[in-house]
Amino acid sequence: MACIEKIYSVSALVGSSACNGNCAFCAGKYLRPQASDNPIYWKNLESAIKLSARYGGWSLSLTSSGEPTCDPEAVTKALEVYDKCAKQGAYFPNVNLFTNGILFGDSAFCDKWLPLWKNLGLTNVAISIHSVDRKKQAEAYGLESYPDFNDIFNNIRRHGVGVRCTLLLRKGEVDNAVKYEEAVSTLVKFFGVDNITSWPVGNPDGTKNSFTPSWFGLASIRYWLWKNTKLCHGHAWGGGVFDWKGNILRLTDYVTRHDPAKDFVRQLVVFQDGTVAYSWIREGALCMK
């Protein structure tokens, strides 16, 4: 058994599990029954942040089994926990809120919440993109329409918060190198997004499903990155960070199974029932309960 040398990040599920989207491939539905206002959750979130920071962690990600912005009070409470930790020395340079972006198209919502969240340490909002075509983006979320991308990005930026995109790799949409290049080019050129992370859609246990791109399609994306970008650094768990014309492109796996023989932990995951695990796959990866 290896001793842990590094805990890179913390991912925390927050909120009531309510969602304003209706994705056919939602990976969070199975976790929604766990959502509750559990005092152990907040205690263990604080412990996870401090533990990761002690082992060199650099990132906190807030997500949900639904859509986190549908419960903005819970996002605020999670950031208050982080702010307390940061003032005690457990500071992360990257504090990201992962979202479908729908409510960020509403300027009143942004005016109310983003100044508060920024003051509590939020650095970036990461918008999940299934397609750079608004109509197809709406279809992916089961909506009649999706807000204008420029409205979303401008509403966030004018409050001094960074914009990132999670460009999801999904069969039938962004599933090969040609479509990947077209999507990242559009996000960079037309919307000014300079930090784009991608991973293939799959099951919560890391296995493939009917929405996962083919092996050949994913290989073509990796080859495109090898040919057209400069590698900044590789991830110990697979994938890496690339410089493309001065923009950050990141390719990674949706789920990394914890390996107790390794000397690093990709992330501590704080589930809504208060469990903290070394991986999204909890079996054999429990840290706190």
pLDDT tens across 246-285, in order?
999 999 987 888 889 999 999 999 999 999 999 988 888 9
pLDDT at 203: 86
Mean pLDDT of the 29-51 span: 85
Whole-structure pTM value = 0.95
Model pLDDT, residue 1:
56
Residue 149 pLDDT: 98
140-198 confidence digits (pLDDT tens): 999 999 999 999 999 999 999 999 999 999 999 999 999 999 999 999 999 999 999 99
Window from 1-10, 85-94, 132-141, 222-231 with minimum mean pLDDT: 1-10
What is the rounded CA–CA span in Å between residue 24 and residue 139?
10
Q: What pLDDT is attached to residue 26? A: 80
Per-residue pLDDT at 256: 82
Give the whole-angstrom CA distance, residue 70 versus residue 49.
Answer: 23
Check residue 75 and give its pLDDT. 98
Asked whether the beta carbons of 163 and 153 are under 8 A apart, the reply is yes
Contact (CB, 8 A) for 68 and 75: yes
Tally the C-alpha atoms within 13 A of residue 111's C-alpha that lie toward its C-beta.
3
Domain ranges for the chain: 6-288
- How far apart, in whole angstroms, are the C-alpha atoms of residue 69 and residue 215? 34
Residue 248, token pair as written in the block: 């950050």
> What pLDDT was estimated at residue 120?
98
The amino acid at 104: F
pLDDT > 70: what percent of the chain? 98
Residue 230 forms beta bridges with which residues? 243
Q: What DSSP line would sit under the chain, residue for residue?
A: -PPP-EE-EEEEE-S----S---TT-SSGGGGGG-S--HHHHHHHHHHHHHHHHTT--EEEEE-SS-GGGSHHHHHHHHHHHHHHHHTT---SEEEEEE--GGGG-HHHHHHHHHHHHHTT--EEEEEES-SSHHHHHHHTT-S----HHHHHHHHHTTT-EEEEEEEE-TTSS-SHHHHHHHHHHHHHHH---EEEEEE---TTS---TTSPPHHHHHHHHHHHHHHSEEEEE-TTS-EEEEETTEEEEE--S-----TTSSEES-EEE-TTS-EESSSS-TT-EEE-
Regarding predicted confidence, which is higher, 215 or 1?
215
Sign of torsion over alpha carbons 235, 75, 202, 229: negative
What integer pLDDT is reported at residue 140 of this predicted model? 95
pLDDT tens by residue, 55-68: 999 999 999 989 99
CATH code of 6-288, in short, is 3.20.20.70
The pLDDT of residue 89 is above 70: yes
Task: Give 2's pLDDT tier (boundaries 50, 70, 90).
Answer: low
Question: And the tokens for 48?
Answer: 């996870």
240 vs 99: CA distance, rounded Å? 22
pLDDT at 226: 97
* Nearest Cα to Cα of residue 75 among 29, 34, 111, 125: 125
Pick from 270, 222, 281: which is nearest to 52 by CA? 270
Are 282 and 34 in contact by the 8 Å Cβ rule? The answer is no
Residue 136 has pLDDT above 70, yes or no: yes
CA distance 62 to 71: 12
- Please tell me the predicted confidence (pLDDT) of residue 25: 82
Mean pLDDT of the chain: 94
- Lowest average pLDDT, out of 11-25, 62-76, 85-99, 134-148, goes to 11-25
Stronger pLDDT, 33 or 224, i.e. the higher one: 224
The pLDDT value recorded for residue 255 is 81
- Give the tens place of pLDDT for each residue, 92-126: 999 999 999 999 999 999 999 999 999 999 999 99
* Residue 30: predicted pLDDT: 63
- The Cα 154–Cα 191 span in angstroms is 9
**Could you tell me the two tokens for 62?**
């807030």
